[in-house]
Structure 1
């Protein structure tokens, strides 16, 4: 039964349906779970980064409609080291002017959207970070602006109010 639930959750998460994340995260144990178990539960990663210590970090974003991005680190021994939900205030504060797009992607994962503003000569990436609070919820977004050289020139937040 557990194997069926894991398979179903992996398939749904591949389609962007994240209700199973809660169950998947409870089942995975750092220091115990294997890379194979992570892939069984979350599917293939959106992006993979090799780290200096021989470990690898896999990106599992829930953008554009979800509000999480999990960075899952697997040690060189193929054992799960840690799971981080990276769309949080601490990581938003780490985005500073001069960073490259690759550095921002490594920190926050793939953005929900990217748009170029011709008059400002800037590209803006945005991540959905909240569905809002209460019954009349309006989603909130974190944004990062890049100049034409692909370097951060600012960041911010906005709420998408419904009419």
Structure 2
């Protein structure tokens, strides 16, 4: 049964569905699991962030359809240190005026969309943070950048379903 579940998760991952993330995260054990096990379960990261202590944080964003972004940190010994789902209120509060786009991406991962507004002369990045349901519309967290590429504000909105 476990082999069948692993096969299904691999199939879903291959076609871009994050349906097995919950199972993959549960089976990874900080201090025990290896970098190879992380890659086996999640595939290659979309971005690699080098940390000052020699560790590396791998980004696994499920945007634009998923409401998750996993930052998985592996030590220089290739042992898993931690798994964080970073699209949460604590991380949103860390986004500050004046930050660069790279600093924001390091906190929240790849956004679902980016849009430039000519009249306001600003760029807005957005992340899906709540998929919505038949009753509730999807919710997005937004970060606005000025002409110099620095954060000028944050917000959130609900996108009505078509």
TM-score scaled by length of structure 1: 0.93
**In 2: Cα distance, 1:26 partner to 1:10 partner:** 16
Give the 3 Å change call, closer, same or farther, for CA 151–112 of structure 1 in structure 2. same
Contact 1:7 1:40 (C-alpha < 8 Å) held by counterparts: no
User: More deviation in 141-150 or 15-24?
Assistant: 15-24
- Counterpart of 1:46 in structure 2 is 46
Report the CA distance between 1:27 and its aligned residue: 1.0
Q: For each residue in 1:99-121, what CA deviation from the matched residue of structure 2 results, as whole angstroms up to 9, or x when unmatched?
A: 00000000000000000000011
Say how many residue pairs are matched: 162
**In 1: Cα distance, 2:5 partner to 2:36 partner:** 16
- Counterpart of 1:93 in structure 2 is 93
Structure 2 unmatched runs, 5+: none
**In 2: Cα distance, 1:89 partner to 1:81 partner:** 22
| Superposed counterparts of 1:1-163, under 5 Å | 2=2, 5-6=5-6, 8-132=8-132, 135-162=134-161
Contact 1:18 1:66 (C-alpha < 8 Å) held by counterparts: yes
**In 1: Cα distance, 2:151 partner to 2:105 partner:** 12
In angstroms, what is the RMSD of aligned CA positions?
A: 1.5
Report the CA distance between 1:161 and its aligned residue: 1.6
**In 2: Cα distance, 1:61 partner to 1:34 partner:** 20
Q: For each residue in 1:2-49, what CA deviation from the matched residue of structure 2 results, as whole angstroms up to 9, or x when unmatched?
A: 456445424523533111011101111000000000000000001001
